[in-house]
A and B are shown apart, each in its own frame.
Chain A
Amino acid sequence: MTGRRIYALIIRLHPLQFRQRFGEELLATFDDAVEDRGWLPLFVDALVSLLRQWLLRSKLRTDTERAYRRVQYLNFLWFTVCFLIWATVLPSRPSERFFDSFILFVLMSGLLNYWTGSPISLLSRIYLSPIRLSRLFKRSDSSGNTTRNPSEKKRDQLRSFNPSFGVILMLFRLSRPQPWTQFLISLVLFTAASSLGLFVRRANRELADRIAGEVPTE
């Protein structure tokens, strides 16, 4: 049973499209073959396959998957900008600044991960990752029946992603009395973050519509 779990974990590390298309079958074939061959050769084979998929098979990935990666990078960029803005308006004491930054980093990355399923932030994956992309793309249960429409759920989550979150937090911080120069700098950064946030939001929506257009009919 442990061997099966490890094998399932290796399958989960494969690229999305491959995992989505062949994941169940791989596991079924593993169940059939493990008695004949033993688990060690199958694990080695799966690890070789993992490397081959990531290094050699990028041409076989779909446009949607590439688009999803692009949007993930955009989300990460937006998050980084918001984080930098936050760092500029932090209190002057270095010890507080570090602590606040760390807490906010974990909090924001966790919420971003929750909304977008973005696997970019390792911290958020460890502490706060109740929803994962792979689960959203799961097509059917073990009996082969489609239990939910993953694309619709993914679409709804992408739509609900609200990039103004960091800006609201920033306003909260700005409600404290600040020197005028710092306020002006923050205002400029606020405008930049809002513009980038809107852009990211639009990219997310476009991707959501694209995924919705590829809803499996079976």
Chain B
Amino acid sequence: MFHTETPLTPSVGFRYNGFRMKSENIHQYLPLAPASLHILLSLTGEHLHGYGIMRKVTQQSEGRLKLGPGTLYDNLQRLLSQGLIMDAGRRREDDSRRRYYRLTSLGKRVLAAEIERLEDMFATAKSRLGGAKPVTA
């Protein structure tokens, strides 16, 4: 029924879409740097431009992490090259210099894996420190 001897013709059934093939090994992206984690987290709900991401990161970290534009775009460059986020284009009603970014499906999976990793770490830490009592004078 299946002709496994016949080699597949790569030109049939494939279309080059401008994106590199990404490895499915999600764990190669882990652990995420704090700035990258916050950027991915900020893009889960909506598409945001650079300044929007900066504000969202500040808001979700309760002011503890303030990304500068240089750090932000350095991280965006890396996340784009890894395929974790993608350019969602410009919007007519907005400043034409602004580009919006959105999370890719790979980015969502990596973010989920990172959250899971942090939860495991948190559970381990909690179980080890659970018996310990604070030292009192």
Contacts and interface: CB of A to CB of B under 8 A. Distances in A.
Given A25-B97, A142-B97, A53 B74 contact: yes
B101 to A, nearest CB: 10
A130 B74 CA distance: 30
B69 A26 contact: yes
A143 interface: yes
Interface string B73-110: 11011100100000000100001111100000000000
A198 B133 CA distance: 79
Contacts of A143: 96
Query: Interface extent on A, as a size class?
Result: 20 to 34
Contacts of B51: 28-29, 32-33
Give the interface SS of chain B, mostly helix, strand, loop or mixed: helix
Interface residues of B, number: 22
Contacts of B71: 45, 48-49
Contact of B77 (A18, A33, A142): A18
Contacts of A94: none
A143 B98 CA distance: 11
A60 B69 contact: no
A57 B69 contact: no
Contacts of A32: 51
B98 A28 contact: yes
A29 B54 contact: yes
A42 interface: yes
A47 B70 CA distance: 8
Interface of B: 49-51, 54, 66, 68-74, 76-78, 81, 90, 95-99
29 contacts: A24-B97, A25-B49, A26-B50, A26-B69, A26-B73, A27-B97, A28-B50, A28-B95, A28-B98, A29-B72, A30-B69, A33-B54, A37-B66, A41-B68, A44-B68, A45-B68, A45-B69, A45-B70, A49-B68, A49-B70, A49-B71, A49-B73, A49-B74, A52-B70, A52-B74, A53-B74, A57-B74, A142-B97, A143-B96
